Structure 1
Amino acid sequence: MSLSLSRRALSATLAGLLVAPQVTAASDPLEAEAPFFEELPTVLSASRLPQALNEAPGAVTVLDRDFIRATGYRDLARVLRLVPGMQVGQERGHRHWVTYHGLSSDYPAELQVLIDGRSVYTPNTFGGADWSALPITLDEVERIEVVRGTNSNAYGANAFLGVINIITRHTSQDRGSSAAFNLGNRGIVDTRLTWTGGNESMGTRLSFASSRDQGFEHIYDKSDSQTVNLRTDYRLNGQDELTLRAGFNRSRRGQGYDDTLFDNNGLRTSSTDNSTVHLTWRRTLSEDEEWLLNFYNNHDNTREAWVASGLPALDILVPLNRNRSSDRTNLELQHRFALNDAARMVWGLETRRDMVHSPFLFMDGDPPTQYLYRAFSNLDWHLSKDWQLNLGGLLEKDGARVPQFSPRAFINWQVAQGHTLRAGYARAWQQSNTFNLYSSLRVYEPTTGTLVAWPYLPSHALRTPHVDTIEAGYLGRFRPLDTTVDVRLFRERIEDFMVRRTLVSPAGNLPLPLYTTQFVNLDTPVILNGVEYQIQTHPWAGGEIRFNHSLTQRNTTSTAVSQRTSPYTLSASWLQEYDGGWTTTVSVLRIGSLAGGDGYVPGYEYMSKPYTTADVRIAKRLHIGQNPAEISLNAINLGSRHQEIADRSEQVMHPEGPVNYAPRMVWLGLTMGL
């Protein structure tokens, strides 16, 4: 189906949706159904103000606890495949490429990822979020809010194309103990233990999780991860509450391939320790006024070393490593309040310090400590019963760069009860990650000190990319089949997009014929035009169907950049409850051709073919003694074998077929109270 044909079909569908409410808007029966239309979830992440979904400035997808549990997935990143516009792929089992509308490099940095408002975007050289090393367990998650669209006016740089906010459960929501176990093929062995206790004024949750598997077939892809988390909520009085969150994750993961060029991506095991401490003070003066003070520190440390064979004829063996560590400290003050009965406002101040250490990757010395300062504000103003205005802005000073302003303006119109149109504009700036700016990687033969390769040059002159987004949308609720429809039309124009280019080494010809590279800005804009929509309906008793579809038209002078975005994604999930405590979940995913980043070694082109895959879960609720329990059979990557993202240089060496098929993985799960 062509994009133009899909647009015509969508326009016809939208016209039908928008005409229908106008016919019944004045009827009394619809007014009687008001409670049905008020059941939309309240979201926090779009503007930092609690808002009903139809009042949010932009499109927001909410994945609640029940839905996440129903998927049976073992990791958070896979759940995000079921969000419209999200493009998620795996080069190996423990490495997730998570983007919104694609575009990104090997380490996606266009999405801000938060846990309870705490950024887990790592300044650790390459940037992005390390999804397999987050110090969180799935059982802690209350819901995930995905803001589908530019949101830098609320969360600053890296909320470039959107925000993923993972919100955990308050300790008052669960009391007691529980355990969960998974056992399956590909060496799957998972364990999770959780205890929650306390009284009316103080609650504590302690959880431990261990996850292990062999990952993808025929490559070195083992993964072994342990996570420990502590959360304490302490209510000091009727107004004040303190929350302490502390987490630690230790991961050991297989990396590389056994036949890469000069072993530049050779076999090795990476070891990552990731820890966080997050302290929140919340003063709630009334339903309409609250002060919030957040302090957190994230620290990660990775050890990843191997030996490159070099050129056998020259008898060169070169030790390589990507050992690195980083430390982020952040302090934020926020105040929300009501200006009057029709307007609410939130403002805040934030300061951050990032430190990175990696002697091999930054041979000219570690990057300077980066200091960031922000001031932000958002206004939610109900102009009338049916019209609502959202205005926001953020001023950000990042290191030595000039201050940057990120504005957003949105108007929401409730056409009829349960039917809302929205339109808006936003600008965002993207923070350059440390590696792009300061990488100065050179490779020396250890015995003679001879320079044999110069893979990276620093890029101090990089301009800061920015995006201007124009969007229009529709959110509607329909009484028949209890249906919700959310549509987003968008145009995202990115200036100074960063790419990695090859160039002649400053040292001339070197013994190892590897490219020298540098990050530069594209001189022409990258423009993404498209449409995405999600439909959630309950067509029969106990049944729920979710359908997501996105179409993206890519306009850029760079073919390599265009290939980083799939022209379409589609997912459909059917959740069903049966008598006797049985439940099933079936999810089908379809994604178009995708390059997935810029490649470990530049100069090689390869795109994975479009694929369709399915995931299935069958579960039964029961009791073991007096304790509630659930046993499940789970399977992912069913159907024909497929490849999601390839290591391009490795793939070019094997034209006979994909080097990293996504394997079928099947496991039995048991969850029970203790």
Structure 2
Amino acid sequence: MLCLAIGGKLAPPSQAAEDTFFGDLPVVLSASRLMQPQDEAPGATTIIDRAMIRASGARDLAELLRLVPGFQVASRSGHTPLTTYHGLSDDAPRRMLVRVDGRSAYSPYFVSGIEWGKISVDIEDIDRIEVFRGSNAAAYGTNAFLGVVNIVTRPAADTPRARVTSNLGDDGIRDTRAALRLDLGSAALRLSAGRQQDEGQPDLADNRRVDRADMRLDWRNAPDQQIEIHAGLVNSKLEMGTFDDPSDPLRNRGDDAAFGQIRWRLTRSAEEELQVTYFHQEERSRDAYRLLLRETLDPRLPPAVIDAVLAGYGLTPDANVPVDFANRVIRDDIELEHVQRLRHDSRLVWGAGHREDRLWSPAIFNTDDDIVNRTSRLFGHLEWRAGSRWLLNFGATAEKSNSGKMHTSPRFSANYHLTPGQTLKFSVSRAYRIPTPFEARGDVQFREAISGRLIRYTLQPSNGLDPERLTATELGYLGNFLNKRVTVDLRVFEERIDDLIERDKDAPAPAGGTSLLSGNVAPQYRNTGEAQIRGAELSLVYRPALNRWIGLNYANLDINAKGVTGTLADPLQIHEVLATTTVPTESAALFAHWTFGEGWSASVIHTFTGSMNWYATRTRLIVPAYHRTDVRFARRFALGRTRAEAALTLQNAGSGNADFSPEQAIGRRSFLSLSLEL
């Protein structure tokens, strides 16, 4: 929402944008769907601006969340980053929403909720990233269960006329990106394209080549109207498989994603604004291979014994299993949003939306038919300035899908301004997370090609799942000391999740579901878990100038949980409630950036993550606590009329560590970058 309260009125978009960067306090756009100063947002927010993004040296969006307290970031492979807030995750996190310029990038179609590699935006085109720490279902619905990452790209007119960036480094890093701006009278057009490629992590089959293209058109078609058109596509070629596992052969997977979005905004007056957003999105994946069944059996068995086992099941020695994880997703989403000042002391934003997802994947849903999910939503948020020091916020989103009843996620918050630079915050909220299609309807079976014999039953449908339910309470303090350029952000919270959906890997198979390799077992999702997370997050930032800062984040978390328990059969495996190990007790980050004479600058990000488990690793071993240090040195200079920057980035300096599985160490990596802007 591009309106900002100034002197009791709503500022026009141009003035609002100026205040975003030059005001006393940062402005957030997405906490309540109202543009508001950070100290008036109904919860804790972290802002990663353009200068921080560049100074980080990050090649991937997920890396930037290391700068946010309470987040855990790992790499299942070189092309599969994992991100979660306050744990409760496995190798497919799905309890957090990511938005890009008002478009939901949450895609819980098959397994995970966020496919970072399918986001088309160029990291150089990002203006800022706003992270709402805590549930924000009251503003954005079920997908914002544990938080929202809102990515805001730069207006097209704010893009350099031309830009080229290249990275070259270890592990086959070969990145090239380019952007071009065209001024078309009352419109501005940005075109961005690039390729990202590397050889992934040592000892893993995870090479990648990702091609991206993105377009944004901003058109002021009338004095009181603006049209934004976005479009983008991603084409990926990803190496998959395991070197020493015949059941997971080496192969290449192809992914394609494309979207188109149009947003019309009408500013009727300084007090009122209306916008309508529609987007269409399509995704496709190709991942097919064939398994020779005898190679998936215990390799310690003599060949004659293996042949006898196969014969006992009526199978020949050359019995094979075709695997084809091809899938297609089509999403259409339309949303209306209206903001209006009701009186001098209150503002209201309300709206409605409808989304339709059409999913096709015979291997995952055991049907050639489309799985159709339709969701309608109605949302509203009222901001009331109850006095010179009090600001109250009331908000809720009601959602109804074609697969269940309506669920309403409300929130109440109160901000009390102790002084012009210090604010106390309190909020209480309720949120629901509706089961994903994969959780509710996944039916993954592997059958022999000729006989049709069931070889393995990987997942059976989980009918009757209830939504997860979250009740959250938090108390916060935000202090902004302008004379010292110091910001203090403290959040203390309790989050209780009921009906937690977990995967029961020992669930009995349904009638007729006995398989050769799994016996009478077919995993299933169930509402078996409960979790109570308590903790505190602290963020301290000293920023004397836009391009100089020193920051420290710290999070202390404690979780009590009930649910699925690990096995005692193997002493190396976990034998406690799995959810209790998914949250590190302590985590911290120290980040700094400083500029020197002659255009030189240096950055460092040092993070510490306590021991935790993503509870779907191959052996379920807890990942030990680890440190990671990234360092970047850069020099800005001029080549005639061209602005240039050369940089050296060293990631994971020091000894190697593991962030996803203790068996999977990540080593040091360095690369050189050159950026030219005109």
Tell whether the structures are fold-level matches, with TM greater than 0.5.
Answer: yes
2:539 aligns with one of 534, 537, 541: 534
Code of the aligned partner of 1:218: D
Deviation at 1:533, TM superposition (A): 1.2
SS in 1 for 2:431: strand
Aligned to 1:672: 676
What is the alpha-carbon distance in structure 1 between the residues aligned to residue 483 and residue 191 of structure 2? 43
Residue 212 of structure 1 contacts residue 225 of structure 1 at CA under 8 Å; is this kept in 2? yes
Q: Superposed, which structure 2 residues align to 1:177-188 within 5 Å?
A: 177-188=162-173
Deviations 1:386-445 (A, max 9, x none): 100000011110123110111000000001120000001011110211111111111111
Deviations 1:73-93 (A, max 9, x none): 111100111101111111211
Q: Superposed, which structure 2 residues align to 1:81-480 within 5 Å?
A: 81-260=66-245, 263-312=246-295, 313=306, 314=310, 315=317, 316-366=319-369, 368-479=371-482
Deviation at 1:166, TM superposition (A): 0.3
Deviation at 1:341, TM superposition (A): 0.8
What is the alpha-carbon distance in structure 2 between the residues aligned to residue 442 and residue 342 of structure 1? 59
SS in 1 for 2:236: strand
Residue 280 of structure 2 contacts residue 333 of structure 2 at CA under 8 Å; is this kept in 1? yes
What is the alpha-carbon distance in structure 1 between the residues aligned to residue 548 and residue 216 of structure 2? 35
2:660 aligns with one of 629, 645, 652: 645
The answer to which of 157-166 and 284-293 deviates more is: 284-293
The answer to which of 245-254 and 37-46 deviates more is: 37-46
Deviation at 1:104, TM superposition (A): 1.9
SS in 2 for 1:207: strand
1:594 aligns with 2:612: yes
Code of the aligned partner of 1:428: A
Cα separation, partners in 2 of 1:44 and 1:542, compared to 1, 3 Å = closer
What is the alpha-carbon distance in structure 2 between the residues aligned to residue 114 and residue 435 of structure 1? 21
Deviations 1:607-652 (A, max 9, x none): 2111001001000000123211000001111112111112xxxxxx
Aligned to 1:79: 64
SS in 1 for 2:490: strand
Structure 2 length normalisation: TM-score?
0.89
What is the alpha-carbon distance in structure 1 between the residues aligned to residue 360 and residue 62 of structure 2? 27
SS in 2 for 1:663: coil
Code of the aligned partner of 1:391: F
Structure of higher RCO (CA pairs closer than 8 Å, 6+ residues apart): 1
Residue 609 of structure 2 contacts residue 627 of structure 2 at CA under 8 Å; is this kept in 1? yes
Cα separation, partners in 2 of 1:92 and 1:400, compared to 1, 3 Å = closer
What is the alpha-carbon distance in structure 2 between the residues aligned to residue 418 and residue 572 of structure 1? 24
The answer to which of 152-161 and 301-310 deviates more is: 301-310
Deviations 1:468-519 (A, max 9, x none): 0000000001245310000111100001000000223334653224752000
Code of the aligned partner of 2:102: G
Cα separation, partners in 2 of 1:265 and 1:551, compared to 1, 3 Å = farther
Deviation at 1:127, TM superposition (A): 3.7
Q: Superposed, which structure 2 residues align to 1:491-506 within 5 Å?
A: 491-501=494-504, 502-506=506-510
Aligned to 1:660: 664
1:551 aligns with 2:556: yes
1:632 aligns with 2:647: yes
What is the alpha-carbon distance in structure 2 between the residues aligned to residue 182 and residue 287 of structure 1? 45
SS in 1 for 2:440: helix
Structure 1 length normalisation: TM-score?
0.90
What is the alpha-carbon distance in structure 1 between the residues aligned to residue 408 and residue 508 of structure 2? 37
Aligned to 2:588: 570
Cα separation, partners in 2 of 1:352 and 1:542, compared to 1, 3 Å = closer
Residue 87 of structure 1 contacts residue 102 of structure 1 at CA under 8 Å; is this kept in 2? yes
2:32 aligns with one of 44, 47, 58: 47
What is the alpha-carbon distance in structure 2 between the residues aligned to residue 572 and residue 288 of structure 1? 42
Residue 335 of structure 1 contacts residue 346 of structure 1 at CA under 8 Å; is this kept in 2? yes
Deviation at 1:660, TM superposition (A): 2.2
Code of the aligned partner of 2:522: T
SS in 1 for 2:362: coil
SS in 1 for 2:584: coil
SS in 2 for 1:446: coil
What is the alpha-carbon distance in structure 1 between the residues aligned to residue 180 and residue 199 of structure 2? 29
Deviation at 1:36, TM superposition (A): 13
Deviation at 1:544, TM superposition (A): 1.1
Deviation at 1:366, TM superposition (A): 4.0
What is the alpha-carbon distance in structure 1 between the residues aligned to residue 148 and residue 546 of structure 2? 34
Identity level (%): 33
Deviations 1:67-121 (A, max 9, x none): 1011111111001111011111112111111111111232111111100110011
SS in 2 for 1:232: strand
SS in 2 for 1:339: strand
Aligned to 2:571: none
Deviation at 1:266, TM superposition (A): 3.1
What is the alpha-carbon distance in structure 2 between the residues aligned to residue 566 and residue 642 of structure 1? 16
The answer to which of 584-593 and 192-201 deviates more is: 192-201
What is the alpha-carbon distance in structure 2 between the residues aligned to residue 229 and residue 302 of structure 1? 20
Deviation at 1:301, TM superposition (A): 0.4
Deviation at 1:538, TM superposition (A): 3.4
Deviations 1:252-298 (A, max 9, x none): 112221223xx333322211001010100001123331101000011
What is the alpha-carbon distance in structure 2 between the residues aligned to residue 406 and residue 424 of structure 1? 13
SS in 2 for 1:496: strand
The answer to which of 546-555 and 310-319 deviates more is: 310-319
Deviation at 1:310, TM superposition (A): 3.0
What is the alpha-carbon distance in structure 1 between the residues aligned to residue 620 and residue 663 of structure 2? 15
Residue 633 of structure 1 contacts residue 666 of structure 1 at CA under 8 Å; is this kept in 2? yes
What is the alpha-carbon distance in structure 1 between the residues aligned to residue 90 and residue 590 of structure 2? 27
Deviation at 1:37, TM superposition (A): 11
Cα separation, partners in 2 of 1:210 and 1:36, compared to 1, 3 Å = closer
What is the alpha-carbon distance in structure 2 between the residues aligned to residue 136 and residue 285 of structure 1? 31
Residue 124 of structure 1 contacts residue 324 of structure 1 at CA under 8 Å; is this kept in 2? no
Residue 37 of structure 1 contacts residue 417 of structure 1 at CA under 8 Å; is this kept in 2? no
Aligned pair count reads 623
Deviation at 1:175, TM superposition (A): 4.3
What is the alpha-carbon distance in structure 1 between the residues aligned to residue 497 and residue 583 of structure 2? 14
SS in 1 for 2:344: coil
Code of the aligned partner of 2:45: V
What is the alpha-carbon distance in structure 2 between the residues aligned to residue 351 and residue 541 of structure 1? 40
Code of the aligned partner of 1:318: V
Residue 305 of structure 1 contacts residue 323 of structure 1 at CA under 8 Å; is this kept in 2? yes
Q: Superposed, which structure 2 residues align to 1:573-584 within 5 Å?
A: 573-584=591-602
Deviation at 1:200, TM superposition (A): 4.9
Return 5+ residue gaps in structure 2 as ranges. 1-19, 296-305, 311-316, 564-576
Aligned to 1:30: none
SS in 2 for 1:158: helix
Deviations 1:300-321 (A, max 9, x none): 1011122334334233432223
Deviation at 1:322, TM superposition (A): 2.0
What is the alpha-carbon distance in structure 2 between the residues aligned to residue 480 and residue 376 of structure 1? 39
Aligned to 1:67: 52
Code of the aligned partner of 2:391: Q
What is the alpha-carbon distance in structure 2 between the residues aligned to residue 212 and residue 435 of structure 1? 30
Cα separation, partners in 2 of 1:495 and 1:108, compared to 1, 3 Å = same
What is the alpha-carbon distance in structure 1 between the residues aligned to residue 437 and residue 66 of structure 2? 28
